[in-house]
Structure 1
Amino acid sequence: MSTVSLAKPPSYDSPPQFHRTPSYAREPRAEERRLAQGFVRNQRNERAADFVKQSKTASIVLRLSDQAEGVEIPTYGLRAPIEGVVELSKPDGLVHVSVKVEGTMKLHEFGEGGMVTSTLCSETVTLWRKGIDPGPCPDRLDFSISLPTQYSDEKDTYPLPPTFEAHLSGLPGFHADVEYQVTAIASKTKLPLGKLNSLGQSAVSTPFIYLPRTCPSSPLPGPLQGSGDVPESTDWKTYEATVNARSDGARPINVRFFVPKSHVFCKSEPIPFHVSFVSSAVTLASLLPYLTTEENPGGKSSTRIQLLRQICVNVKDEYSQTAANTELWKVIKLGEGTMRRGADSPRMLSFSGEINVDTTVKAGAFKAGGLWVKDFIVFQLNPSNALRGPIGDARIIVPVRIVSDPYSAHTGAYVDTPPARISPPESVGEDDVPTLDFDAPTYNGV
């Protein structure tokens, strides 16, 4: 019998010894950057609590499911079902039990503009009716109502607007309010559905926040690359303006403002930008003292790059004799960036920076009837003597959209309805944008 000689197995190096495993955190540190984000199945655990509201007599309790622990107001997103339970301490003698979800938009112009109230949604679901549903009324009734995705008025159809509130003090002024609420009703009388009457009726109501989740359709680009006077990138959009220079031998200055081509940014991520000034070396040397940068915070000019929000209200007063349309608007600051010196060339000064969005910002831009919320990045060079001084002024307005979620290539990993991908905003002409306040007030969350 022959024997088979087995070769000795190869040797392997010993695995490296780690003294500790690497540490990880859900949020990136200051020196790190999030490239993509997905959401896994256990995310629903963060919204596993019930929101509970009861009437003054505790005869009826409204319990809303799938909410974050300890929230003061429940929150729902796009196509989110409003689900829960109506609990009754004394169901005997009831005629019907129902739940109503409604949304309203109130626009009030102080002065001659008038006031308009629009119904955004209104749906009543009957949970139990005496004589129609079998048996006595249960002490617990489940319900589920889905929010619509849009609403219509006499002029057009719009996406359902988010919860929103804004005001402009003084005369003329305005107050705009978009609000939603859910109400549970238990009645011992045969009133029409949705009609509230204290006689023989118990009700409990709570407002809720409607914030549809949205995300960019593409990730943020890498740093702008290029050589010479013209940086090149297909991921960045260029906006240009010309600054007059009046010194002897000076030439006009070409301002090039670069923003990511998508124009759509997550509210929790810094918005990158680049600025370059192109002219002769002599002209650029005279411009430099007028630029406000990290290296020169007290420059002769106030050079500012801001994220601004414009809130427009237009109400037609049906009772006014002129029946004219009026438009009021307010501009508030959502964030501001600072320029950092970059790589220069003999005919170009280069800067870059980021804008951090105010953490109190909840909703992005939207249009709903007479209420229009628009967001812009505004570059402005504003010397104190721009009309006659050595350096003129310039302003560049870039329309953008602010969204709730960062870009993710794996929207299928979302447990809840994934955020809708948002396309770039429309271009803006001079006739579309009123003069923006240079020193806009800081956003205060309303």
Structure 2
Amino acid sequence: MSSSSKYPSPPAYSPRSSPPTYSSTSRPTERTLHQSRGRSHSPAGVCIRRSGDVTLTIFGQEENIEQPLVRPNKPLTGSVVLQKPEKIRSVVLTIDGHLEILPLAGSYSSIPLFSVTHKLHETQDGVPPCPNSFAFSQSFPSVFRHNSQLCNLPPTCHITFGSLYFIKCVYRITVVVTSARHRRASFLTRNDHVSFDLTYRPRTRPAQPLLSNPSLYGTIKTCPEEWAQASHMVKIPGQHNAPSLICDLFAPSVGAFCVLEPIPFHLQLSTSRESLQNILSGALPLVKVYILRQIAMNVGGRMATQCLVLGHGTTRFLPADLRRHTLNWEGEACCRDPASVVGTFECGTIAVVTVSSCMRCASF
């Protein structure tokens, strides 16, 4: 039996058509369901500072910023340029950070975070000759050791509470250039300093995006896991025998949000039918929602806490549900000054956290 009769001939195929056209923008008949964030661009700006004959330049910065930004997992790169290298005896570069704390009167302390020193050049009697420029690259550590405990490196911040007390985290790069005042008197020297304060802000992103529909009523049945509930008992002012109000605050369960992102919430007040009718017969209670920053410090074995308001929420009253004996509000809370908000961090006996809280101002 021949091979041609054993195996059938392959089927005939039509010519391959050209692939469909693709576009990054949707057509009028299409809808974008999800769009992932593109990779961040690498900024090409520079920060320059001069002092005498020394110029310090930091690369990879955004345009028109005064304080260089250090990105986690990316080295800080730059150069040192000298105008008169023939007189230079040494060039030393230092990058360090420290946390300053004034929790109580007379209890100032400074916690060193890290310090890195590079001796870029050292010469004796002009040998070897000093070059006119140096390049450097240095990464920040992700952790530091404090009281035998490893802590994450805190972000640059200056948090004030009260009139005198503060928590301040500072990072700085400094170049010290030692040069001879005269070629024949090398023992007579002078030091030129040039430095930059640095902004270090580790980026954290929420584990998941917020719901496209921020309404509790529209999502609580289909996606109940997307909401977290906190309850609190509230007494009605001036009505000692009246039943207490149960205040329930619903907020997204993800618990972490982008700084510029409005945080949706739902507020519900529950009480008896009689109390609800009494409330509705007068003025509605004035409800305010805040985003609070809580600072907790262990000072000499005693915990001290302070709360600062980071932002306010806007509320909208929803129709009263007499059948369930509830009053409901919904709204969004935003940070008042997003540029000044830093993330949560802990450093030894200090904890800086951001929490949301609901407060009711009585106007019954």
What is the TM-score normalised by the length of structure 1? 0.64
Structure 1 residues 87, 377: closer, same or farther in 2, change over 3 A? same
2:204 to 195, 202, 214: 214
Distance 1:330 1:78 in 2: 29
Distance 1:64 1:285 in 2: 66
1:95 corresponds in structure 2 to 89
Distance 2:335 2:222 in 1: 26
Distance 2:308 2:105 in 1: 22
3-state SS of the aligned residue for 1:161? coil
Is 1:203 aligned to 2:180, yes or no?
no
Is 1:54 aligned to 2:39, yes or no?
no
3-state SS of the aligned residue for 1:92? helix
Contact kept in structure 2, 1:334 and 1:361, CA below 8 Å: no
2:311 corresponds in structure 1 to 335
> Which residue identity does 1:365 align to in structure 2?
T
Deviation at 1:37, TM superposition (A): 5.4
2:290 to 306, 322, 338: 306
1:159 corresponds in structure 2 to 152
Distance 1:252 1:232 in 2: 30
2:4 corresponds in structure 1 to none
Percent identity over the alignment is 25
1:178 corresponds in structure 2 to 169
> Which residue identity does 2:257 align to in structure 1?
F
Structure 1 residues 232, 54: closer, same or farther in 2, change over 3 A? closer
Q: Which moved more, 1:329-338 or 1:246-255?
A: 246-255
Distance 2:129 2:281 in 1: 82
Contact kept in structure 1, 2:147 and 2:348, CA below 8 Å: no
Distance 1:205 1:247 in 2: 63
Is 1:349 aligned to 2:343, yes or no?
no
Structure 1 residues 314, 233: closer, same or farther in 2, change over 3 A? same
1:147 corresponds in structure 2 to 140
Distance 2:167 2:61 in 1: 27
Structure 1 residues 226, 96: closer, same or farther in 2, change over 3 A? same
3-state SS of the aligned residue for 2:88? coil
Per-residue CA distance 1:194-216 (angstroms, 9 max, x = gap)? xxxx9433221111111111110
Contact kept in structure 1, 2:267 and 2:328, CA below 8 Å: yes
Structure 1 residues 177, 253: closer, same or farther in 2, change over 3 A? closer
Distance 1:273 1:330 in 2: 24
Q: What is the aligned length?
A: 322
> Which residue identity does 2:276 align to in structure 1?
L
1:367 to 346, 349, 360: 346
Distance 2:281 2:131 in 1: 77
Structure 1 residues 327, 258: closer, same or farther in 2, change over 3 A? same
Deviation at 1:143, TM superposition (A): 0.4
Structure 1 residues 264, 81: closer, same or farther in 2, change over 3 A? same
3-state SS of the aligned residue for 1:181? strand
Deviation at 1:267, TM superposition (A): 0.9
Distance 2:155 2:240 in 1: 55
Deviation at 1:274, TM superposition (A): 0.7
What is the TM-score normalised by the length of structure 2? 0.77
Deviation at 1:63, TM superposition (A): 0.5
Is 1:287 aligned to 2:279, yes or no?
yes
1:138 to 131, 141, 145: 131
Larger CA Rg, structure 1 vs 2: 2
Deviation at 1:280, TM superposition (A): 3.9
> Which residue identity does 1:166 align to in structure 2?
I
Higher relative contact order (CA 8 A, sep 6+): 1
Distance 2:86 2:280 in 1: 81
Distance 1:326 1:242 in 2: 29
Higher strand share: 2
3-state SS of the aligned residue for 2:274? helix
Is 1:272 aligned to 2:284, yes or no?
no
Structure 2's unaligned 5+ residue stretches are: 1-24, 27-32, 181-187
Aligned residues: CA RMSD: 3.4
Is 1:257 aligned to 2:252, yes or no?
no
> Which residue identity does 1:67 align to in structure 2?
Q
